[in-house]
């Protein structure tokens, strides 16, 4: 099982019973290093959230909605210990102009209430048997991001890494940052 990949997909590094990582003996050395790096980043993010929340500075964390990070008790505690200052928003990238759905959740501490305007969820119609769902924004089938791109030999999910520009513009507008920059 060590380092085994199925159908060209990376091996799982964690599951719901092992949110901080599968037992080391079940992971290849490469996957152990990847897990350690990801956990280091998660702990660092939790520390940043703590420090910003103490100082009442705006801070946010974003991950795909299905990410196990949202199940981490440590993050859950930080969200629920400061509920009056937290806004959790779920959005689909297709609602911001991408051809793929990519449902993403963002949690904001000490941000203006206007960040709630980022909550946009696709109401894709169900496709028939063997037919793709149709995006409620573009009225086109969603591009399915799975497997390897035959040209670039990278995972298709990589093309969905950048935030949609329209979403970034809406986030800047909701933050009030654009007004502050214009004044300065």
Tell whether the torsion through CA atoms of 149, 154, 155 and 160 is positive or negative: negative
Q: How is 80-149 classified by DSSP, letter by letter? A: HTTGGGEEEEEEEGGGGT-SS--EEEEEEES--GGGGGG-B---PBPP-TT-PPBPTTTSSBPPP--SB-
Rg (CA), the chain: 19
For residue 166, the cross-strand partners are none
Planar angle of CA 32, 37, 39, nearest 5 degrees:
95
Tell me how far apart the alpha carbons of residues 119 and 105 are, in angstroms, rounded to a whole number: 9
Q: How many other β-carbons are positioned within 10 Å of the β-carbon of residue 61?
A: 20
With CA atoms as reference, report the closest residue to 145 among 6, 9, 4.
9
Q: Are the beta carbons of 135 and 124 closer than 8 angstroms? A: yes
Tell me how far apart the alpha carbons of residues 88 and 118 are, in angstroms, rounded to a whole number: 10
More confident residue, 141 or 181: 141
DSSP letter for 150, please.
T
Tell me how far apart the alpha carbons of residues 44 and 36 are, in angstroms, rounded to a whole number: 12
Quick one: average pLDDT of 11-26?
Answer: 91
Is the pLDDT confidence value at 182 over 70?
A: no
Residue 8 exposed, middle or buried by CB count within 10 Å (0-12, 13-18, 19+)? exposed
Confidence of residue 2 (pLDDT cuts 50, 70, 90): very low
Quick one: average pLDDT of 79-91?
Answer: 86
Please indicate, yes or no, whether the overall pTM of this predicted structure exceeds 0.85: no
pLDDT digit string, tens, across residues 132-172: 789 999 999 998 888 887 888 888 888 888 999 999 999 99
DSSP letter for 9, please.
P
| Helices then strands, each counted (H, E), the chain | 4, 3
Return the SS3 of 177: helix
């Amino acid at each position: 099982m060590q380092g085994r990949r199925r159908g060209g997909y990376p091996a799982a590094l964690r599951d719901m019973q092992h949110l901080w990582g599968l037992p080391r003996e079940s992971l290849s050395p490469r996957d152990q290093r990847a897990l350690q790096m990801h956990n280091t980043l998660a702990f660092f993010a939790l520390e940043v959230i703590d420090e910003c929340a103490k100082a009442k500075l705006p801070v946010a964390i974003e991950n795909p909605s299905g990410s196990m990070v949202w199940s981490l008790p440590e993050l859950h505690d930080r969200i629920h210990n400061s509920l009056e200052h937290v806004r959790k928003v779920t959005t689909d990238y297709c609602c911001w102009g991408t051809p793929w759905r990519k449902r993403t959740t963002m949690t904001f501490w000490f941000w203006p209430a206007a960040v709630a305007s980022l909550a946009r969820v696709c109401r894709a119609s169900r496709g028939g048997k063997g037919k793709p769902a149709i995006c409620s924004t573009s009225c086109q089938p969603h591009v399915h991001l799975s497997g390897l791109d035959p040209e670039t030999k990278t995972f298709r999910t990589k093309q969905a890494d950048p935030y949609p520009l329209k979403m970034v513009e809406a986030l800047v507008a909701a933050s009030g940052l654009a007004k502050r920059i214009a004044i300065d």
